[in-house]
Amino acid sequence: MRFNWNIFKMVFLLIIVSGLYAFTNNRSKNKEIKDLKIEFVGIDNLYLTNESVNKLLIQNYGSLKNITKEKLVLNTIEKVIEANEMVKSAQVYLTVDGELTSKIVQRRPIGRVEGITKFYVDDEGKRMPLSKYHSARVPIITGKITGESLEDVYVILKHINSDEFLRKNVIGIHIDDVDKYQLKFRMENFVVNLGGVDSLTEKFNNFKAFYTKANKDKTLEEYNMVSLEFDNQVVCTKI
Separation CA 229–CA 129 (nearest Å): 33
Residues β-bridged to residue 182:
174, 193
Model pLDDT, residue 14: 67
* Helix H or strand E segment including 130: none
**Class of the CATH domain delimited by 109-238:** alpha beta
Model pLDDT, residue 10: 67
**Could you give the C-alpha distances from 57 to 86, 96, 108, 203, in angstroms and in order?**
15, 21, 22, 48
SS3 69: helix
- The runs of H, that is alpha helices, within the chain are 5-29, 50-61, 74-82, 147-161, 164-169, 200-217
Q: Which CATH superfamily does the domain covering 35-106 fall into?
A: membrane protein fhac (3.10.20.310)
Most confident by average pLDDT, 10-19, 30-39, 173-182: 173-182
**43-101, pLDDT tens digit by residue?**
888 999 999 998 888 887 777 665 666 667 778 889 999 999 999 999 998 887 778 88
Which are the contacts of 61, defined by CB distance < 8 A and separation ≥ 6?
Answer: 67, 77
Model pLDDT, residue 77: 87
Segment 108-127 mean pLDDT: 95
**158-217, pLDDT tens digit by residue?**
999 999 999 999 999 999 987 799 999 988 888 999 999 999 999 999 999 999 999 999
Q: What does the mean pLDDT of the chain come to? A: 85
**166-180, pLDDT tens digit by residue?**
999 999 999 998 779
Model pLDDT, residue 48: 92
Domain ranges of the chain: 35-106, 109-238
Q: How confident is the model at residue 22 (pLDDT cuts 50, 70, 90)?
A: very low
Q: How confident is the model at residue 23 (pLDDT cuts 50, 70, 90)?
A: very low
Model pLDDT, residue 15: 63
User: Residue 221 gets which letter from DSSP?
Assistant: G
User: 102, 113 in Cβ contact below 8 A?
Assistant: no
SS3 70: helix
Model pLDDT, residue 11: 60
